[in-house]
Amino acid sequence: MTDYSRRGLLAAGAAGGLIAAAGTASAEPFAAKPGDGGFARSSNALPPGETVVHHAASDIEAMPDFHFSLDSGRPKVTSGGWAKEATESNFPISKGIAGVHMYLDAGASRELHWHAIAAEWAFILEGKCQAMVIDPSGQREVANFGPGDVWFFPKGHGHSIQTIGDKPCHFILSFDNGGFSEHGTFSITDWVSLTPKDMLAENFGIPAAFFDKMPTGETYIMAGPILPESKAKQFLLPPPQTHKFALMDLAPRIDTNGGSLRLATQKEFPMSKTMSGGVMTLKPGGIREMHWHPNANEWHYYLSGQAEVALFGSGGRGKVKTFIPGDVAYIPAGYGHAIRNVGNEDVEIVITFDSGDFQEISLSDWMAASPNYLLANNFGVNGDTFDKFPKASQHIHKQG
């Protein structure tokens, strides 16, 4: 925008209507899309003597729903397990991050595959598994995972997952692209079944007839014999090349009477270049204070408890939703939010961001840094009121 058109916009705003902005140097039509935020879709003219703008009631509804029940979704089921997903197509607000709950029966494996458009982050809920990953230099890692462990596979890197032992293994996956779908992963059985047999014969130097035995289609999660723990040998790479991170060994970055946040960013887990992820706990009565993230979208999967999330989407748009285990929340980058425990047990959340760098701005910190005369003017109340406000954010706290 040129200085000229910015002046035009300001003048139009002062005249009492954003609609008039269409008449400035920009010939673009009014292009607000729900979820973009940044300005009101419409606001009512300020009556004489009034100081507060009342946004049109329809704006509140215009903000897309940020609540999705992942676990009540329809799974993709194959012989060895299932996967349920939350993507932009069934959960439209989640443009930046998709999520999956994947369940592998004992003995089953998720076949060799890769993802063309997203990196993959995982948190193991129950059971044990072995993941193998290969990078473009040909370097591979074979790593064993148990509850509380995290993996990160960069976009496009080949990987597979095999359960270990006689128990099933299930985990939460998070992908740094909302357009990702488990129905569109690049699986090797799918690839082989779609390639002419004489080409396969030439490629591998194997007689074409051999490929008659191969499946037609995609095995995806394939049932199989149990891999005993004694045979699940690891080949671990040292940091920073390793794809495995023991999240529960990490000291929490926030740890107060209200709860805690354990988060593996690129700093703690160098492989995790495009995502950060971890677990947040809110004790009964605990609140994750009002804040926002300038650089990343935020994704939640609820493991336990009952939480209330209030989301602020600008321009009169705000929504409050309750989350229970199996639910997913999506908080677009820059949107204000707060989370509180409204139940009697701990709220535990698997939390991810689509940036390896964690950034946050807390409302309490910001207000504490602002002079009382400014806050008094903003809110139209006595400046002394703000002496009672916190002088620093605790990020998570509990009253009393």
Residues that bind Mn ion (CB under 5 A): 120, 298
Cβ atoms of 338 and 287 within 8 Å: the answer is yes
Q: Given 3-state DSSP classes, what are the helix, strand and coil percentages for the chain, each rounded to the nearest 5?
A: 20, 35, 45
In angstroms, give the least distance from the CB of 295 to Mn ion: 12
In angstroms, give the least distance from the CB of 160 to Mn ion: 8
- Please give the span between the terminal C-alpha atoms of the chain, in angstroms, as a whole number: 49
d(CA 222, CA 187): 12
Question: Residue 84 in 3-state DSSP?
Answer: strand
Token output for 183: 């129905």
Neighbours of 272 (CB within 10 A): 24
d(CA 231, CA 244): 19
> H-type helices in the chain, by residue range?
3-14, 57-62, 188-193, 197-204, 363-368, 372-379
In angstroms, give the least distance from the CB of 170 to Mn ion: 14
What are the two backbone dihedrals, phi and then psi, of residue 179, each rounded to the nearest 5 degrees? -80, -5
In angstroms, give the least distance from the CB of 102 to Mn ion: 9
> Which residue number, 151 or 386, has a Cβ lying nearer to Mn ion?
151
> Which residue number, 220 or 269, has a Cβ lying nearer to Mn ion?
220
In angstroms, give the least distance from the CB of 57 to Mn ion: 27
d(CA 266, CA 210): 45
Instruction: Enumerate residues 6+ apart whose C-beta is below 8 A from 369.
Output: none
In 3D space, the residue among 287, 319, 291, 284 whose CA is nearest the CA of residue 305 turns out to be 284
In angstroms, give the least distance from the CB of 298 to Mn ion: 5
In angstroms, give the least distance from the CB of 9 to Mn ion: 31
In angstroms, give the least distance from the CB of 237 to Mn ion: 19
Token output for 30: 């009014």
- Residue 212 burial (10 A CB sphere; 0-12, 13-18, 19+): exposed
